[in-house]
Structures are given as structure tokens and as C-alpha cells.
Copies of this chain bind each other. A is one copy, B any other.
Amino acid sequence: MLEDMDLTKKMGKKEFNELYPPLKERLGELQREMRVKGLPVIVVFEGLDPVRTVDTVSKFLLPLDPRGFRYHNTRAPAQLDKEHPFMWRFWVRTPARGQMVIFDRSWYARALAAGSDGLDGRIAEVRRFEKTLSDGGTLFLKFFLYTDPGRLSDCADGECGITDEDLVIGAMEKAIPMMERMMSLTTTEQAPWTVVEAEDAEYAAIKVMRNAIARLEAALASAPAERQIFLPEVEARSPLASIDLRQSVKDSDYEKELERLQKKMRKRQEELYRSKRSLIVVFEGRDASGKGGAISRLTNSLNPRTSKVVPIYAPTEQEKAHHYLWRFYRALPSRGHIAIFDRSWYGRVLVERVDELASEAEWSRAYDEINDFERSLIDDGAELVKIWLEIDKQEQLKRFIDRVDDPKKSWKITADDWSSRQKWDRYTVAVDEMLVRTSTGTAPWTVVEGNDKNFARLKTIRTVLDSTNNI
């Protein structure tokens, strides 16, 4: 495929000087239109030789308003990148609505640089990433700038504004067949590749700009059709209906057992740290089900240096302008660390579904997206524990009234709490469906009976300990 490209294609200076200015102007206009319509765009430049393609990339950037794009030159991963899943460094850099992000080398170069072992796994990650974002409305423009592999540039470290490492990929013997394999597996309808003959920077720049303009025009002309989801039927059972909320633990037993479990938890934290396994605990539950109390009993004995609690509230404007998974990628723990999410990405299929903040197409799609996301975490070596704290309607009312009456707790209760209480049954449907669709073999849900706080707190810590006793 690549080796059949015609690398003699050239463009005279005069022809370029005629063609370039109107394309520049058009690209500038389209960028403004993107911003008005809120279209997020990811542009990928890959190639064998970063020295010889820099002028092509520059010519593409020149007409862009700096206010509307960010440019990332992807290098070898930093320590922090290495301590997170493979796609993490790209996820956290995805564009907000109306923004363009340009990756000069990207996940493709990094997948190549990691070698042929495990390449298929990395390709699968890339496909999930591009699909999830495309489904969320992001436009992908992917260009492979093909130069003669027989004449790679030769730069000492720090010359040409690049490092030696940048050139290694082009020099790899297997780079071309591996790249071809990746490209054929990642050319999708939503995110196709365009291969550009790039020996001549002027010729290449014009081809890139024409293609970008055509794809931007098409994307801006038609609002993307919401992808319809066919959700497979699940057996009509309600996990919530089958639990026994009457379980309880006496205060005297509770104190002793709590101390024992907390000590074990502190030890488990050290084991996790030593074995470089991270632990992610997700807490979801009804309002006033006792998430805060259970979390503080769990974290009480933990070393704060390698653990954190991540409280999730209504998204900020900045968060709303990104894909809904973006803010969770930003909060993932480093290897060996613990992160406890007080509410989580499951908001998509709970509050956003029930309150109609997400469309049906969006929340239906989210079960798969979440399963994919969690699979990436587990493949990366994380332990994932998911806890649903359940209370019954009467217990919730009792706790709401307590909060209203107690000046020390009254800040904990808002009008939103009363309004979600009115949607109790619709939440029950959403929770049951969530428990069934996202309880996977590697990331099952545990329902914790929450009417008795002592019982719930002990069961929570036990669940975390049981789920991590194989490390």
C-alpha cells in the first residue's frame, strides 16, 4: 500500500502561491464556523520522518486562530504518562466543543514505538478511543505524510528542534508493515486515513488542506445523525428487589471489627503500592444512603500520600464542553495509588438518564462505552471495585428529616434531593438496568445494604478487601 505511493509528486512555487491563499482563508473561516457550531475536531499527523514533514504541518497551522486550537507534539511518554493507561495522555488532551486539537504524531506512533508485542491490544484501544469520541460528535482528520523511507533525516539530539527518539520510529525495520496494519484496522467510516505523498512540502500541504476543508464542510453541513443503539434484551430481573435491607450490626461488635478491617486495609494499601497495582473504588447510591460515611471509614486508615477521594458533582462548564469520560480520565490514580470516586461515570446512565440531561441514544450507548473504559483500566492492571449503596424509601425520608432539623447537617440537603426522591421509581429502573448491563466478569457490582450504617460500612471495607486479595 504505502510503497506504491508516487513520491515524485511536486508543486512549483508559483502554483503553490496561487492555490495556498484561498485555502488558508477558507480554513480560517471553517475554524470560526466550527467554534460557532461547537464541533470538536482532532487532527492527526503521522509520518516516518518528522524533520521532513514539519513544513507541511506548519503550513496547515498558519491560518488557524490560536484562540481555537491546541497543538501537541507527541514525544516519548513522561513518567506520569507511564503511570497511567496507554490512551490516558491523549484522552486528557481531547478538544472541548468548538476546539481543534492537532496531534503531531499521536497514539499511532506510540503504539509503534511500543513494538509488535501487544500491538493488537493497542489497536483495539485506539479503535475504542476513536469510536467513543466519534460517537460523541468529534470529527477525526488523520493524515499519514509518506516520505521516502530510504532517506530518513539524520539529526543529532537537539538538532532540528527534535530529539533522537523522534526518528527511531521511522528507522524501525518493521515500521511500515506495522503502520499499514494499524491503518487498515483503523480506517473507519467515521475516522478514515488520508495518505499524502510528502516529499514535496508544498504539494503535501495543498493536499492536506483540501482534504481537511472538504471533511470540515461536510461535517458542518450536516448535524451528525445520532447513532441508534440496539440494546440487547436483558432478563427481566431486578437486582435491587432481591436484597435484604434488615441486616444490621451491633455498635459493640462494629467498633472492634471496624478497627480490624481498617488495619487490614492499610496493609492492603502498602501491598498495592509495592506491586504497582492501582485500585479504583466507585461509590454510587441513593441520596442519603451513607456514601460519605462509608468512604470516610474506608479512607480513615489510609496513607494520604497514595490515596485520594474524588468527589463528583454536576459538571463545570469546562467539563460539559468535553466528552463525559474526559473528567474521569483526568482523575485516574497513578500506578500503585488508590482513588475513591464519590459518584462516577455512572452518572451518565443514572442522573443524566432520569433527568433527561442525556438523550436516549447517548445513555444507551454509554453501557458499552463504560464497559470499554473499565476494560482499559483493568487491562492496564487496575483493580476496580463498584459499590451500590441501597436504602429503602422510608429510611431515606428519615435521614432527610434528620438533616433538615440538624443545623450541622442542613448544608447536606438541597432541593435537588427532594426532587430526585420524587423520581424514586425511575431511578430504580435505571439502577437495575445499570447493575445488569455493567456487571461484567472482571468488574462486577456489589450491592451494599445501607439501612444500617454499621452493617454498610463494614460490608464496604470487606468488599474492597475481598476484591483485592489476589494481588
Contacts and interface: CB of A to CB of B under 8 A. Distances in A.
A310 B66 contact: yes
A104 B304 contact: yes
Nearest to A305: B73
A29 to B, nearest CB: 8
Nearest to A60: B304
Copies of this chain present in the complex amount to: 2
Nearest to A160: B270
A131 interface: no
A58 B303 contact: yes
A365 B445 CA distance: 56
Nearest to A269: B161
A313 interface: yes
Interface string A148-163: 0000000000111110
Contacts of A317: 317
A222 interface: no
A424 interface: no
Contacts of A304: 54, 57-58, 61, 71, 73, 104
Helix, strand, loop or mixed for chain A's interface? Answer: helix
A256 interface: no
Interface residues on A, range: 35 or more
A62 interface: yes
A308 to B, nearest CB: 7
Contact of A296 (B32, B62, B411): B62
Given A79-B79, A162-B305, A304-B104, A342 B270 contact: no
A158 B411 contact: no
A305 B66 contact: no
Nearest to A301: B58
A311 interface: yes
A80 interface: yes
Contacts of A408: 25
Interface string A286-307: 0000000000100010111110
A220 interface: no
For the complex of A and B, 10 pairs with smallest distance between CB atoms: A66-B309, A73-B305, A67-B311, A161-B303, A161-B306, A66-B311, A161-B273, A158-B274, A61-B304, A78-B79
14 contacts: A25-B408, A32-B411, A54-B304, A54-B305, A61-B304, A62-B300, A66-B308, A67-B313, A73-B304, A73-B306, A104-B304, A158-B274, A161-B269, A317-B317
Interface of A: 25, 32, 50, 54, 57-58, 61-62, 66-67, 71, 73, 78-80, 104, 158-162, 269-270, 273-274, 296, 300, 302-306, 308-311, 313, 316-318, 342, 408, 411
Given A58-B302, A73-B306, A158-B273, 5 more contacts: A66-B311, A73-B304, A78-B78, A104-B305, A317-B317
